[in-house]
Amino acid sequence: MHAILDDIQPVNFHAGEQARRYLDTLTKPPGSLGALETLAIQLSAITGELKPSVIPPAVIVFAADHGVAAEGVSAFPQAVTAQMVANFAQGGAAVNVFARQIGARVEVVDVGVASDITAAGVVNAKVSRGTANMAIEDAMQPEQAAEAINAGVVAVERAIKAGAKCLIVGEMGIANTTASSAMLAVLTGEPVASLVGAGTGIDPQQLTLKVAVIERAIAARNADSQAPLEVLTKLGGLEIAAMTGAYLAAAAHRLPAIVDGFIATVAALTACRMCPAVRGYLIFGHRSQEPGHDVALRALDAKPLLDMGMRLGEGSGAALAYPLLQAATAMMGEMATFTDAGVSDKAAL
């Protein structure tokens, strides 16, 4: 993991500036394509290329279970994690559908599902059978968190070898909004009640219990808010650690990564706290309805591309946003310049 941190360089500011200047030579009023222009500049800064490609995208879903599910913090039983892994493997989940739309394969990586996974095609990188219950003990041991981070790094490097030019990571893990909320409260210092949401759809009574469980876990684990790895280890999850590793690897390999919803953004915040240069490689796909997502986005000074009222995870919102990146790169690659098209620019009037 230290090796990957050493490999991360800031995005190429100079390449971004070149893209900004080139955009104003294209046949449109300067700045008229708005956020698409900002996106094109960022993609040039990430890749160092004036006309980069984001094709093909890779979708990787990390799955793991959470000991804290035993506290009754989710609307669904823990067994759903493994059942959804089988569904991903069969191509039937929302993220499979959206991945097919964008021409991406979905790789499913088991980093810590609590039961044996028999579904074909699932990558076995199981670190343990779920985390420990953070209300009672540290969710992970430091070596487990490191192993899960490394599973994320390895998965991204596998995707790059297969030709990936853009990364979308998602997650599946019943009770992972509880783990993410606990991490976020410690990392930002915001009150737990201000960022906890309904996750899979718990009722108000269960929500009160969820807040209490998280507050109890935070007090008992006593993680140092300035030590992101410790926060991840004591309060996080194996799939959240793998996602953190995936964002670190994307940055190290200068690969644009589209961040999904609440859980993904907490992993992204963790990666950025570990290495602030990661931030430049991240594009935020959508705004989740989970209240903590706004807190996490603010902590990263991030503005998501889409606002669809979604609250699913799996990488679904990031996959939906991907065509906007394609549009940004196509604009750079295919639009005529004022000179090429013989269109008068403002300066020529």
Ligand X SMILES: Cc1cc2ncn([C@H]3O[C@H](COP(=O)(O)O)[C@@H](O)[C@H]3O)c2cc1C
Ligand Y SMILES: O=C(O)c1cccnc1
Which residues are designated catalytic? 314
Among residues 19 and 182, whose Cβ is nearest to ligand X?
A: 182
Per-residue binding string, ligand Y, 164-203, x by CB under 6 A, is -------------x---------------------xx---
Among 37, 65, 110, 314, binds ligand X (CB under 6 A): 314
Per-residue binding string, ligand X, 155-184, x by CB under 6 A, is ----------------xxxxxxxx------
Residue 261 interacting entry, from ligand Y, ligand X, none, C-beta within 5 to 8 Å by type = ligand Y
Stretch that binds ligand X, among 152-160, 223-231, 281-289, 308-316 (CB under 6 A): 308-316
131 binds ligand X (CB under 6 A): no
266 binds ligand X (CB under 6 A): no
Angstrom CA distances, 270 to 91, 126, 161, 197, 250, stand at 30, 21, 25, 20, 14
Residue 280 interacting entry, from ligand Y, ligand X, none, C-beta within 5 to 8 Å by type = none
Q: The tokens 């209490």 sit on which residue?
A: 212
200 binds ligand X (CB under 6 A): yes
Among residues 24 and 294, whose Cβ is nearest to ligand X?
A: 294
Name the site residues for ligand Y (rule: CB under 6 A). 177, 199-200, 260-264, 288, 290, 293, 311-313
Name the site residues for ligand X (rule: CB under 6 A). 74-76, 80, 84, 171-178, 199-200, 312-314
